[in-house]
Amino acid sequence: MKLIDEINKRRTFGIISHPDAGKTTLTEKLLLFGGAIQEAGAVKSNKIKKGATSDFMEIERQRGISVATSVLAFEYRDIKINILDTPGHKDFAEDTFRTLTAVDSVIVVIDVAKGVEEQTEKLVEVCRMRNIPMIVFINKMDREGKDAFDLLDEIEQKLHLRVIPLSFPIGMGYDFKGIYNIWEKNVNLFTGDPRKDIEDTIEISDLSNPELDDLIGTDAANELREEVELAQSVYPEFSKEEYRDGQLQPVFFGSALNNFGVRELLDCFIDIAPSPRPKESTTRVVHPEEKDFTGFVFKIHANMDPRHRDRLAFIKIVSGKFERNVPYLHVRQGKNLKFSSPNAFFAEKKEIVDVSYPGDIVGLHDTGNFKIGDTLTQGEELSYKGIPSFSPEHFRYINNADPMKSKQLEKGIDQLMDEGVAQLFRLELNNRKVIGTVGALQYEVIQYRLEHEYGAKCTYENLKVHKACWIEPEDPKSAEFADFKRVKSNYLATDKRGQLVFLADSQFSLQMTQEKYKNIKFHYTSEFK
Ligand code: G4P
């Protein structure tokens, strides 16, 4: 098959949601459609469950699962679908943000009763900023929930999306009768039987057809007619281009648990979701159909087996053909590497592959060469943009609790930072190390993993920091910048790449500093050039 045909048959996407909205259940039903798994319950939730086991064990369990579910690939209607797993727990949001740099589109799952929740807002905002095409799936229609129009309003207002319903529910909760598929113009009646055949959908190309009255009763039929008419007058017309530009978001209704409305979602997704998209690099935009291979690391998984220092770097292929045993340029290190056993992922299995194409994810065994964001090419000196570090929200000094193991500690911290577990800063004042994280859970993860994987012990000390901002002076030689560095010397640190960071101890002091130093920019992500 030609490269362009391989590209056109791929869809790489992520499912995002607030925990409990039904992401795992939906993933599983999608895999069932692709025949990739045989039964329900096969996909394990990557949620951190509090309770029975200790948090450390829970974190390890979660890490184990998250290797297995990092990429779930299957084929459906001759399309190769790659679902990239995104952790829902807020402490791991940065993992999800990074994964979102490797998807070509997303599906947003919303609980019909809870509506738009906190994590949904944060994740959708990241997708919106990147103009990632989104389809919304409103789940749990078998339960009592919000009115469809109210929910659509809420999505527009809270998520700042421009929605267009492509299916519409007939009733809800106890009275849930099914959905009218505006996209395909047919009715799917809800029987509550998850094994129901997809052939059970009934073609109703014209809503005025009296057959509809026979199917769902005259009252419900009239209500549906009114609602769909209203929806069509209120919402914009569907345009594939606008959806793909991230300017319009189709909405589907259903119940993942009952496997209802999922087929409709998947069929529409196959029709409209983009195949691998071009990506911007430091020098130019790279198109997937280019002959030469390029790709970037968006995730690293380390030490699943502490006896072998194994690390798996996950590469998203952006262009060309990736081949086993062919040397590729590791751009940051300026050296060629080849890989004898690259892994590809199918449902829950991984296998060694000879060739992979744009949109695919390959797992490369690594002995410490890779950092998140690294680029591989066939020789061209380009780096992919778009994996910034986000300003952490928690800060602690990290201390060595076992002086005999300081080497191990150094190495452990170094590798965990490469993996993107947290960010390391070094205070200019006293050269002490500060760990910044997005969630408090990461401190437990780091302490536990340092001990179990590197044999090192650490303790933490609190540090009052409100926010870290990356500093960019308009003129590095100005008197203003010199003054800033002198006055704020106690609050300055450098990150891993040597960039200057200002650790503000309160919102107030940050604001005052920003007002005082007007020619210095304060950035909330590390990537601003
Ligand atoms: P998540 O990955 O987004 O966190 O959500 P997950 O799929 O684990 O679903 C969260 C809970 O919601 C699960 O119940 C799941 O069975 C339920 N659920 C998912 N889809 C639907 C639906 O369409 N209708 C109804 N009524 N429930 C749904 P749980 O009791 O928390 O977990 P479990 O013990 O059933 O696994």
pLDDT in the model for residue 46: 56
pLDDT band per the 50, 70, 90 thresholds, residue 199: very low
Atom 31 (ligand 1): residue with closest C-alpha?
20
Whether 256 is in the pocket of ligand 1, judged by its Cβ within 6 Å, is yes
> HSE of 111 in the Cβ direction (CA atoms, 13 Å)?
17
- Count of CB atoms situated within 10 Å of the CB of 304: 15
| Per-residue buried b or exposed e for 375-385, using 16+ beta carbons within 10 Å of the residue's own CB | bbbbebebebb
pLDDT of residue 366: 87
**Spacing, Cα 24 to ligand 1 middle (Å):** 8
> Of residues 268 and 62, which shows the higher confidence score?
268
**Range with lowest mean pLDDT among 95-109, 260-274, 283-297, 379-393:** 379-393
Q: How far apart are the CA of 348 and the centre of ligand 1, in A?
A: 20
Confidence of residue 52 (pLDDT cuts 50, 70, 90): very low
Out of 15, 18, 20, 176, mutate this one to test ligand 1's pocket (max ligand atoms within 8 Å of CB): namely 20
Q: Which amino acid is at 284?
A: R
- The pLDDT assigned to 127 comes to 92
Atom of ligand 1 at shortest range from CA of 47: 4
How far, in Å, is the centroid of ligand 1 from the Cα of 489?
51
Nearest CA to ligand 1 atom 9: 22
Lowest mean pLDDT among 186-200, 214-228, 505-519: 186-200
pLDDT score for 322: 96
212-221: long-range contacts, CB 8 A cutoff, minimum separation 24: 212/187, 215/187, 215/189, 216/170, 216/177, 216/178, 216/187, 216/189, 220/170, 220/171, 220/177
Give 394-523's CATH code, choosing from 3.40.50.300, 3.30.70.3280, 1.10.510.10, 1.10.10.10: 3.30.70.3280
Residue type, 437: T
Which structure tokens are listed for 325?
A: 């045993």
**Is the Cβ atom of 139 under 6 angstroms away from ligand 1?**
yes
pTM of the model: 0.86
Length of the chain: 529
Give the start-to-end residue ranges of the domains of the chain. 3-173+237-272, 279-377, 394-523
Mean pLDDT computed over every residue of the chain: 87
**Which region, left, alpha or beta, applies to residue 257 given φ > 0 means left and ψ of -120 to 50 means alpha?**
alpha
Q: How far apart are CA 518 and CA 470, in angstroms?
A: 15
Cα 19 to averaged position of ligand 1 atoms, centre (Å): 9
pLDDT band at 40 (very low <50, low <70, confident <90, very high): low
Binned at pLDDT 50, 70 and 90, residue 494 comes out as very high
Write out the H or E segment, with its range, that includes residue 325. none
Rg (CA), the chain: 25
Fold agreement (3-173+237-272, 279-377): yes
Task: List the binding residues for GTP.
Answer: 17-24, 85-89, 139-142
- Contacts for 47-50 with beta carbons within 8 Å, 24 or more apart? 47/19, 47/88, 47/89, 48/89, 48/91, 48/441
Q: Which of 285, 336, 293 is nearest to 316 (CA)?
A: 293
**Does the pLDDT at position 44 exceed 70?**
no
Tokens representing 161? 């999306």
What does each C-alpha distance from 126 to 68, 150, 208, 298, 390 come to in angstroms?
25, 24, 41, 16, 11
Residue 431 pLDDT exceeds 50: yes
**Crossing angle of helices 441-454/55-68, nearest 10°?**
80
Residue range 464-487: mean pLDDT, rounded: 93
Four-way CATH pick for 3-173+237-272: 3.30.70.120, 3.50.50.60, 3.20.20.80, 3.40.50.300: 3.40.50.300
For residues 132-145, give the mean pLDDT: 95
Region 96-101: mean pLDDT is 87
Which is the CATH superfamily of the domain at 279-377? P-loop containing nucleotide triphosphate hydrolases (3.40.50.300)
DSSP code of residue 342: -
So what's the pLDDT on residue 49? 53
pLDDT at residue 198 in the model: 45
> Which H or E run contains 414?
helix 406-418
DSSP letter for 524, please.
S
What is the per-residue pLDDT across 289-305, written as a single tens digit (0 to 9) for each? 999 999 999 988 876 66
Question: Closest ligand 1 atom to the C-alpha of 141?
Answer: 23
pLDDT grade, residue 288 (50/70/90)?
very high
Helix (H, G, I), strand (E, B) or coil at 396: strand
CA within 13 Å, CB half, 211: 9
pLDDT at 56 over 60: no
- Residue 47 CB–ligand 1 contact under 6 Å: yes
The mean pLDDT of 64-87, rounded to a whole number, is 81
